[in-house]
Structure 1
Amino acid sequence: MNLLKMDDLTNHEINELLNQAQSFKEEKQKVNLNGLVGALLFYEPSTRTKLSFEMACHKLGIKLLSFSKETSSVSKGESLYDTVKTIEALGADFIVIRHPEKRYFEQLTDLNIPIINGGDGTGEHPTQSLLDLMTIKESFNQFDQLQVAICGDIKHSRVAKSNAYALSRLGANIRLVAKEKWQDEQLPFPYIDMDQAALDSDVLMLLRVQKERHGGVSYDQQSYLEQFGLTIKREQMMKDNSIIMHPAPVNRGVEIDSSLVESPRSKIFEQMNNGVFIRQAIITNCLQKGGAFHENSDSECQV
C-alpha cells in the first residue's frame, strides 16, 4: 500500500493509524521488521521528517540505504523514475520520497514496492498531517466540532492542504489566516483575521513562511508577526484549553513570538515526538497491506 495523499486513507484507516501510533508510544505494541530495507530519497532539505523516519526505522529494526542527491547520479541528470527503479531493483522493501515537484508520484505508478510521500512540492504532506492529528487527538480526544485555525503561508504550504481537508473530513471546523497574496482560493474554507483566530480557536496551527518558494520577494518580518503571527498579546486572548501547533522549522519572531515556542500550551515539540510513532505505524501498515508480514495475535510482528 502506498501513502501519497490524505485522500488515500478512509476516516477509519486514519483512526487505525492513530491508535497504532499511540500503542507504539505507550510501548504496548512491539514490531520487529528485522531483515527489511528502506530508502529515504530526500530531494529537498529536511530535519524532522527525515530523522523521524530514520528513528522509526531504527525502532522497527529496518536497515536504510544511504542516499544523497548531491552525491548520487541525480547530479549527472538521472531522472526520479530511474533512481526509484534502481532502488527497487536493488531490493528495497519501501521508499520514502520528498521532492520539489508537485504530485511527483504520478510518474511512479508501475512500482511493486510501497511509496510513502514525505512531501511533494506545494502539494501534500500526509505523514505530517497524521502526526498533527495524533497530537490533536491526544489533547481533545476527538475532532468533531473543534475550531481549528490554520495560519500563515497557506498558498505554499503542503501541510495546510493535507490538514485542512483531513480535519474537515473528521468533523472539525476549519478557518484560514493569511496575507492576501499568500491565500489559496482553491481551498474551500473561510479566511478570518488573526485576532479572531486567537480568540475562539481550539487549535491554532501556525505555518512556516516559505521564503524559498517566494521567488526572492522579501517581506517585513516584524510587521508580519504583528499582523499575522502569534504575539504574546494574542496568546493571552486564547481559550484556556486551546493549543499552539507548528510543523517546524519555526521562524522565531516571525510566525510566533520566540517565548511562546516552548510555552505550556505549545505542542510543537510534542508534534516532533509523535512524528516517530506515527511513522512507525505508517511503515508497518504500508508493508503489512503489501503482504510483507502478518500480525500475530499478541501484537508482536516478525518477518
Structure 2
Amino acid sequence: MAETRWNHRHILSLSRFTPTDYDTVVNTAVSFDEVLSRRNKKVPTLQGKVVTNLFFEPSTRTRSSFELAAKRLSADVLNFAPGSSSLTKGETILDTAKTYLAMGADIMIIRHAATGVPHAIAAELDRLKTGVGVLNAGDGQHEHPSQALLDLLTLCTVLNPEKPSIDSLKGKKIAIVGDIIHSRVARSNIWSLTACGATVHLAGPPTLLPPEFGAGFQRSPVDPPDLQRQLVQHTDLDAALEGADFVMTLRLQRERMTQHLLPSLREYHRQFGLSHQRLQACAPDVKVLHPAPVNRGVEITSELMDDSERSLISQQVTSGVATRMALLYLIGTGGQSAADIGQ
C-alpha cells in the first residue's frame, strides 16, 4: 500500500471530508480487512500508543468495535464508565478528559448525548498543544462519522468485492428512511454518500423530516468545484424506494423525542416500515442496511432483517472493526507509516 495523504488530527464531522479522504479511509480499511482474515489478526502499528474510550452514553457495537480495533493494532486501551467515575462526584467532562491525558492518552474516542462535546474536548486539547487526536463516536443529534464510514466500506465492498472503491457509488440511488431528524447516522451518511457521487433520497413522516432539513447539506467549504451533491426529500416511502440500489432504515429514537411525533408504532410501520413487499419498488438486487440496534417489527420486519440475501446488517458490524482500525491508524500515524499495515 502506498503512503497516504492525511490532514485530519481529529475526526469530528464528515462535513469537511473530501472524496480523497473517503478514498483513503476505504483503501486503508480494505488493507486492515485483509489483516483480519489472517490467523494472526494483530499488527504492531499502534504499539505503545494509548487509546481511551470515553463513552458518556450507552453503546454496545460502537464501543466494542473501537476497543477491538485498538487491540488489533496493539494499542493499550483504557475504558471509561461514567456510572463509576468521578463525574458522579461533580467532576467536569473536560477535567475527566485531562485525567486521561495525564495518564498518557494518545487518542480519545468520545461519545456523548449532547451535541458538541467531542469538539469541545478537541479544542481544549489543541489549546494545550497536546497533539492528542479525538474521534467522535456519536454526539447528540450531530454526527456519527465512523458509522457512516463503515457503511461506506460496506457499500463499496458489495458493489466491487475485488477492489472496493468510492467510484462504484457514482450514480447509485440510496434511500435513507425513518427518523431522520434525530439521526446523527443520517447526517454523516448524507455528507459521505453525496460526496462520493450517490443520489440520496430521504423519506420519513413530516414530523421526523422537516422540509428545511436538507438545506444544510448542499455544499461543504472543501468540496471540489465540480462536485454537485444530490439530495432529495420525500414524505412518501414508495417514491424514495423506486429504483433504489440500497435502502438504509433508521432506528426510531424515542428517547430523543420530547413531543408526540408519531400516532403509533403500528402506524409508523405501516407507512415507513421495510418489508420484502415494500422492496418490490426498488432495484431487483436491492440491499438493506440498518445502523442498529433494531426495533424488529417497527423499522423492519424480522423476515427481512434475517434475510442474508437482502440484509447487510451483519456485514456492517464486520466492516466496523476494519474501518475503525483504519481511522485509529490514520489519526495515530498521520498515514505516514503505511508500510506497517499487514506486518
**Alignment correspondent of 1:152:** 178
Pick one of 37, 41, 48 that aligns with 1:35. Answer: 48
CA distance in 2, matches of 1:299, 1:85: 31
Report the 3-state secondary structure (helix = DSSP H, G, I; strand = E; otherwise coil) of the residue aligned with 1:35.
Answer: coil
Report the 3-state secondary structure (helix = DSSP H, G, I; strand = E; otherwise coil) of the residue aligned with 2:232.
Answer: coil
Residues 139-288 of structure 1 aligned to structure 2 (within 5 Å): 139-141=158-160, 142-184=168-210, 185-188=212-215, 189-192=231-234, 193-215=236-258, 217=260, 219-263=263-307, 264-288=309-333
- Equivalent residue letter for 1:157: S
Pick one of 65, 68, 74 that aligns with 1:61. Answer: 74
Report the 3-state secondary structure (helix = DSSP H, G, I; strand = E; otherwise coil) of the residue aligned with 1:6.
Answer: coil
- Equivalent residue letter for 1:34: Q
**Alignment correspondent of 2:85:** 72
Q: Is the 8 A contact 1:30 1:299 kept in 2?
A: no
Report the 3-state secondary structure (helix = DSSP H, G, I; strand = E; otherwise coil) of the residue aligned with 2:247.
Answer: strand
1:219 positional shift: 4.5
CA distance in 2, matches of 1:298, 1:46: 31
Pick one of 99, 108, 116 that aligns with 1:86. Answer: 99
CA distance in 1, matches of 2:288, 2:203: 14
TM-score where L is the length of structure 2: 0.82
The 3 A distance-change label for structure 1 pair 207 and 14 is: same
Q: Is the 8 A contact 1:225 1:231 kept in 2?
A: no
Task: Write out per-residue CA displacement over residues 103-161 of structure 1, whole angstroms, 9 at most, x where no aligned residue.
Answer: 22332213120000000100000000100000111122411111011100000000111
Q: Is the 8 A contact 1:24 1:30 kept in 2?
A: no
1:215 positional shift: 2.2
Q: Which shifted more, 272-281 or 41-50?
A: 41-50
1:294 positional shift: 5.0
**Alignment correspondent of 2:145:** 126
Task: Write out per-residue CA displacement over residues 247-288 of structure 1, whole angstroms, 9 at most, x where no aligned residue.
Answer: 000100000011111211110110011000000000000011
**Alignment correspondent of 2:163:** none
Are 2:63 and 1:50 aligned? yes
The 3 A distance-change label for structure 1 pair 296 and 195 is: closer
Q: Structure 2: any 5+ residue segments left out of the alignment?
A: 1-8, 161-167, 216-230
Q: Is the 8 A contact 2:113 2:140 kept in 1?
A: yes
Q: Is the 8 A contact 1:197 1:204 kept in 2?
A: no
1:296 positional shift: 5.9
Q: Which shifted more, 129-138 or 74-83?
A: 74-83
Q: Is the 8 A contact 2:110 2:135 kept in 1?
A: yes
Pick one of 116, 124, 130 that aligns with 1:110. Answer: 124
- Equivalent residue letter for 1:183: L
**Alignment correspondent of 2:222:** none
TM-score where L is the length of structure 1: 0.93
CA distance in 1, matches of 2:328, 2:249: 27
1:237 positional shift: 3.4
Q: Is the 8 A contact 2:144 2:185 kept in 1?
A: yes
- Equivalent residue letter for 1:164: I
